[in-house]
């Protein structure tokens, strides 16, 4: 953790293979995913001040904490049903599964906390989707190439995403309804392990 005014980074977690760290809205906690000894992804929550040990919250990967306090991730239920799960870590209600594929990944909350952009290859091709917390899914991209890694702008006016739709990987912007997709940066001919990456838009 990099803290303004401190000379060196602060180590919060010592586990190997830590991935997808995400802060709670007030910055007091961090959620992240790591694999156990048999390769199962587990989501942990830890205080950012190091005052307590991390605790297992759920089985899953790719956690992202929303502005209203909801935590979202991709995982599977004990019975085998997989998809995107939503949960409020501060109440005692069980997580709610909102989609139906383990490949619904790359989650990004809208600033209003009511929408969640994500990527999926549920149709056989990677596209960007929009999930409403209240229910309903909309496809935002429709291209034979790969589209994914959505990231909301801080003001909610645009969504950034990665695509190789013109033959080389690039960073694109589009409207929240999927209109006006246009390239703003060329990334290169390849993007290794791209589905495990995450785009981040600074506040």
Cα separation, 66 vs 200, in Å, equals 14
CATH superfamily of domain region 1-102: TolB, C-terminal domain (2.120.10.30)
Cα separation, 62 vs 22, in Å, equals 9
Cβ contact 137:130 at 8 Å: yes
Q: What does 32-43 look like in DSSP terms, one character per residue?
A: EEEE-TTS-EEE
**Residues 152-167, mean pLDDT to the nearest whole number:** 97
Say whether pLDDT at 165 is over 80.
yes
Q: Note the pTM of the prediction, 2 decimals.
A: 0.93
Cα separation, 186 vs 184, in Å, equals 7
Q: How far is CA 186 from CA 49, 126, 164, 183, 190, in A?
A: 38, 19, 10, 8, 11
Q: Which long-range contacts (CB under 8 A, 24 or more apart) does 49-55 make?
A: 50/10, 50/12, 54/13, 54/15
Say whether pLDDT at 161 is over 80.
yes
pLDDT at 58: 95
Query: 78-134 pLDDT, tens per residue?
Result: 888 999 999 999 999 999 999 999 999 999 999 999 999 999 999 999 999 999 999
pLDDT at 75: 96
Residue 10 backbone phi and psi in degrees, to 5: -100, 125
pLDDT at 152: 98
Ordered by start, the domain boundaries in the chain are: 1-102, 111-194
């Amino acid at each position: 953790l990099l803290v303004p005014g401190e000379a060196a980074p602060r180590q919060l977690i010592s586990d190997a293979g830590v991935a997808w760290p995400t802060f709670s809205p007030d910055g007091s906690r961090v959620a992240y995913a790591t694999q156990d000894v048999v390769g199962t992804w587990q989501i942990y929550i830890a205080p950012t001040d190091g005052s307590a040990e991390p605790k297992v919250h759920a089985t899953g990967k790719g956690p992202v904490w929303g502005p209203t306090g909801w935590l979202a991730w991709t995982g599977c239920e004990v019975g085998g049903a997989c998809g995107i799960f939503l949960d409020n870590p501060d109440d005692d209600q069980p997580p709610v599964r909102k989609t139906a594929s383990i490949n619904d990944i790359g989650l990004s909350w809208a600033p209003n906390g009511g929408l969640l952009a994500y990527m999926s290859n549920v149709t056989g091709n990677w596209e960007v989707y929009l999930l409403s917390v209240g229910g309903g899914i909309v496809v935002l991209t429709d291209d034979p190439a790969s589209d994914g890694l959505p990231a909301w702008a801080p003001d909610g006016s645009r969504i950034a995403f990665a695509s190789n739709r013109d033959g080389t990987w690039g960073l694109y912007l589009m409207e929240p309804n999927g209109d006006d997709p246009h390239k703003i940066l060329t990334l290169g001919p390849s993007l290794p392990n791209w589905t495990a990456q995450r785009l981040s838009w600074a506040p």
